[in-house]
Homo-oligomer: A and B are copies of this chain.
């Protein structure tokens, strides 16, 4: 089999998330698979590195697809150009490359980096407003950093998972949470081995409540220990969340 890995970008605003699901229209995966089918004349499965929720964006999503060698008549460049010609303007393929036959975008991913963008400056941003979450109250970032310290590490994040009936493990490892303020925007970056449903948005909502003083940083351990969604904060809206990178073992890393 020939195995192709794509790096792509999308504005998730008008999509029902990454994952194709039954009759739900307008998923990113469905848009891409439709083009793949037109290109090769038969259905081809595309594996994304993971789902992104409805309304969430990707600066760097990774996906791969395999096709029998005898069907593999197009170069990486031709595949990329074909996609970019037929995709709507809110999805772009940044690169396509041939990879080892065993590479799988989801199964081989060892980490992901998400970024949440909070507009907390004195005057709200205009031109990027669709991609920012506006918070009028002042945020005490030092407290948010302190709370993040309790979240980093390997924990059961059931309290931060939207799926209350989740049967699989809700244990995840957060390698790091960083905060950067620039031009009135607070960027919170989450680097972890994987994230549960809505986990980054619930973490962000909880950190915002801590930044506003409604919750204390020292309450985080008991929120984690309670393993109950109702203990954590609100789910921050999707429009300000970006998947910014997906990590693989060095030997499998697709070059950008």
Binding site for B on A (CB under 8 A): 9-11, 57, 84, 89-94, 123-124, 126-129, 131
Contacts and interface: CB of A to CB of B under 8 A. Distances in A.
Given A89-B124, A91-B126, 17 more contacts: A9-B126, A11-B126, A11-B127, A11-B129, A57-B127, A84-B123, A84-B124, A89-B126, A89-B129, A90-B126, A90-B129, A92-B124, A92-B126, A93-B123, A94-B123, A127-B128, A127-B131
Contacts of A93: 123
Q: Which of A11, A57, A126 is packed against the most chain B CB atoms within 10 Å?
A: A126
A129 B87 CA distance: 14
18 contacts: A9-B126, A10-B126, A11-B126, A11-B127, A11-B129, A57-B127, A84-B123, A89-B126, A89-B129, A90-B126, A90-B129, A91-B126, A92-B123, A92-B124, A92-B126, A93-B123, A127-B128, A127-B131
The complex is assembled from copies of this chain, and their number is 2
A146 to B, nearest CB: 31
A12 to B, nearest CB: 10
A26 B57 CA distance: 31
Contacts of A131: 127
